[in-house]
Amino acid sequence: MNWIAKRSPPPLAAGGWGEGAAQTRVAPPPPIPPDQVRSRLLPRREGVSFRPSPWLISWFQLSPLSLVLLVLFALPTMLFLVVSFFDYDRVGIYPAFLLDNYRELLTTPTTLRVYISSLKFAVVVWAITLFLGFNIAWFLIFHIRSATTRTVLFLLCAIPFWTSGIIRTIAWIPFLGRNGAFNTILQSLDITSQPLTFLLFSDFAVVVTYVHLFTLLMVGPIANSMAKIDPALLEAARDAGASRWRTMVDVVIPLSKTGIALGSILVFTQVMGDYFVVKQMSGGQSASIVSMLSTEIQAMQYPPASANAMVLVVFVAIMVGCMMRIVDVRKELVK
């Protein structure tokens, strides 16, 4: 039994092990820093590069577009805003902070007539393109069953956009002119005895050209919204006894409001910012806001032109904001 006594531990003291054991006690290892826990738990793989965080990846993806918007939109807009308060004469412009440019702009009857004329064109063109775009989209989505035929018809609608808008605008002049193709057809069919003079260089010619240029901007968004409508909803409405009109009002239009809003924004902003169509197709009889801006720039009246541009931006932003209040486009697009 001597070997038991030799291997037995020393007697315990009042505070723990014996004196001999206290001398051989090993200190606990130091804590591992939190940033090294993952690297120690996961096995190392040679040749693996650093992977940035999702937050950093999102900023990398957003930065090119943000840079473009900052350089091409935000900075010029700030420059226009600053220059709109400057003073000017025939020699140059002078830094100042004056409200005279805005006061003259908002109190001049000519300016008010130009804004009312541009708004009139925008409302009339919006109503016509909405009617045509909605019916064309309805026909393509719900009456054309073949996806190939539908694609071909969409391409036919997009063919005019393969050429410049200036060329498409000028092409209406020989068609609507006094001795143009349309008047020739009417006279050959004995519908009229003399050419119709209101067809060209008038508000009618401006509206016709706008409708030709911007109807597809209304067709695309509305057709995209209609394509998401379940045909079973239409069948259920018909089974419930709803007429075609009630089905259109209660089912199709509410489910297509996102496309209607997007198309309306596209058409409205294009008409309000147009310059060439009004000048060319009205023969100088009508004016637009942008044509007034061009006249001021040619006269080197940069502060009034900047004030006019800022008023136009605010005016269009308010109209777009009103449309966005009616339809929450961002909420509808994520559905």
pLDDT tier at 250 (50, 70, 90 boundaries)?
confident
- pLDDT tens digits, residue range 211-239? 999 999 999 889 988 888 888 888 888 88
| Residue appearing with tokens 């090294």 | 36
Lowest mean pLDDT among 13-22, 50-59, 263-272: 13-22
Predicted model pTM: 0.75
* pLDDT top residue among 251 and 23: 251
CA distances from 243 to 140, 239, 250, 251 (A): 21, 10, 10, 11
Q: What are phi and psi of 301, to 5 degrees?
A: -100, 70
Domain encompassing residue 141: 109-333
CA distances from 57 to 54, 62, 96, 298 (A): 5, 9, 44, 46
Q: Does a structural domain hold residue 102?
A: no
Which residues share a beta bridge with 87? 94
Q: Under a CB-based contact definition with an 8 Å cutoff, are residues 293 and 309 in contact? A: yes
Q: Helix, strand, or coil here: 238? A: helix
- pLDDT tens digits, residue range 254-274? 888 888 999 999 999 999 988
Which residues share a beta bridge with 93? 88
Q: Does a structural domain hold residue 211?
A: yes
- pLDDT tens digits, residue range 288-318? 888 888 888 888 889 999 999 999 999 888 8
pLDDT confidence of residue 78? 93
Q: Under a CB-based contact definition with an 8 Å cutoff, are residues 261 and 327 in contact? A: yes
Distance CA 64, CA 126 (A): 33
| Residue appearing with tokens 């807009």 | 77
Q: Does a structural domain hold residue 4?
A: no
Q: How many folded domains does the chain comprise? A: 1
Mean pLDDT to the nearest integer, 128-142? 92
pLDDT confidence of residue 214? 92
For the chain, give the mean pLDDT: 82
Q: Does a structural domain hold residue 17?
A: no
Q: Under a CB-based contact definition with an 8 Å cutoff, are residues 221 and 233 in contact? A: no
pLDDT confidence of residue 211? 94
Mean pLDDT to the nearest integer, 160-185? 86
The distance of Cα 151 from the centroid of its chain, to the nearest Å, equals: 24
Q: Does a structural domain hold residue 39?
A: no
pLDDT tier at 22 (50, 70, 90 boundaries)?
very low
Q: Under a CB-based contact definition with an 8 Å cutoff, are residues 208 and 176 in contact? A: yes
Q: Does a structural domain hold residue 225?
A: yes
Output the domain CATH number for residue 159. 1.10.3720.10
Q: Does a structural domain hold residue 162?
A: yes
Q: Does a structural domain hold residue 65?
A: no
- pLDDT tens digits, residue range 161-172? 788 888 888 989
Report whether pLDDT(332) > 70. no
pLDDT confidence of residue 284? 77
